[in-house]
Structure formats: C-alpha cells, structure tokens
Amino acid sequence: MSTIYILWLRQLKRYFRSKTRIIGSLGQPLLFLLALGFGFGPIFQRAGGGNYIQFLTPGIIAMSILFTALFSGIEIIWDRQFGFLKETLVAPVSRLQIMIGRTLGGATVASLQGVIVLLLSLLVGFRPVSMALLPMAFLFTVLIALLFTALGTTIASLLEDMQGFQLIMNFLVMPIFFLSGALFPLQGLPKGLIAVASVNPLSYGVDGLRGTLANGVHFGLTMDFLVLGVIVAILLVVGGYLFSKIQV
C-alpha cells in the first residue's frame, strides 16, 4: 500500500508543479464551452432542446477528463526513455502495485481537471439541477478518469516511442469524444451512429454526468454505472498484465 500511495502522490506533485500544464489543459474546454455553448445555443433552443450550456457542460467535463487521463500514459514512455521507469521496476515491489499507483495518480489528476472545468462552467451560466446528486456526479467523474487512465497505461505498456503513442491517442481521442453524445443528443440519430455510441465507453460517462448534473439520461444511471465499472475492472486487469511484461 505504501508503494501505491507514493506513486499516487508523485503523480499529484507532478501535476501541481506544472502551472503551465494546468492552465493549458483548461484552454480547450473553455473554448468549447464559450464557442459552442453560445454559438449553437440559440439554434439548440429554437429546436426545442432547451439551454445548450446545460446540455453541453457534462460533455465538456467528460472531454477534459478523457484528454487528461489518456495522455497520462505518455509519462510511462517518458520515464522509460529516460531511465526513471527502470529504477521503479527494479524495486522489490509488485509491478501490479506500481501500475495501480500510477493509474490512481493519473485518475486523480484527471478527476481534479474535471472538477475545475465544472467550477469554471458556473461562470458561463451552468447550474447543477440538484446539489444532492453532486456526489454521484463526482463518482462518474472518477470512473471515467480510472477507465481512460487505465486505457492510456495499457497502450503505453505496448509502445516504446512517444510519436507512436501520440499518433494512436489522436486516432482514438477524437472519435471517442465526438461519437459519445457529448455535443449532441443521442435521441433520433441514425441507427448506425446509435450503435457506435452504444459501444463507446465515454457515452456512458457523459450520460452519467448529464443525468446527475443536468437531469437528462439516455441509457439510465444504473446502466451507466455498471458499464463503466465493468470496463474499468477489465482494463485494470489487462493493463496490469501488460505493464508487468514491460522490458526495460
């Protein structure tokens, strides 16, 4: 447990030491909130969808978590290239504990990023529908962060170069985000798009956040929680196995 705690704390220290990283990672969510929220807001309202800021904010929170969590995997490749990972792996502790510690650290950072975006969204007019549901919204935030941090760790365990990781991440991130229902309702879409959204894990994260923060669900909160929980468990097992096979 001490190993997990130390690695978790190390990830947090890295995050808070980099003020540029914190500020830079907030630029894209704010751009989406302001440009899309106010740009498409009147159109969304005239179409009978209501307040677009209320609809959009949960999706932008999920986007912020997605980006931060997935790209936390790049630190494994960075540490491998500069020899820091070797020092960690030769320690007399289980590699599974190392992987869990790094994953929890990355997920905590991604969750904090989501909370910051939620707080900033209050400045542009977003209002949670119920304060009583905020703890459940935070639970979905953590599940999304754990899922995509574990996915980033799994992918990084298979790669050795930074460029390859970035290419794969760019190939994954945008389809996962745009086909999750973060920017548009899933109701009434063509069956093909609904099928794609149904196998996209971020769709259930967005749906869970939207249900707890904006009172609008598509799959149902129970289904959202179960799907995210099962995928997190699977990725932790797979990621732990692949991480244990890393050669340094």
Taking only the tens place, the pLDDT of each residue in 142-183 is 999 999 998 988 888 777 776 777 777 778 888 999 999 999
What are the extents of the domains in the chain?
A: 2-244
What Cα–Cα distance (Å) separates residue 205 from each residue in 45, 67, 85, 113?
A: 24, 14, 31, 15
- What is the overall mean pLDDT for the chain? 83
Q: Enter the pTM of the model.
A: 0.89
pLDDT, tens digit, 9 for 90 and up, residues 13-54: 666 666 566 666 777 888 888 888 888 888 888 877 788 999
180 alpha carbon, distance to own chain's centre = 12
pLDDT recorded at residue 156:
80
How large is the C-alpha radius of gyration of the chain?
Answer: 18
Confidence band, pLDDT 50/70/90 cuts, at residue 62: very high
Separation CA 197–CA 185 (nearest Å): 11
Query: Is residue 197 pLDDT above 70, yes or no?
Result: yes
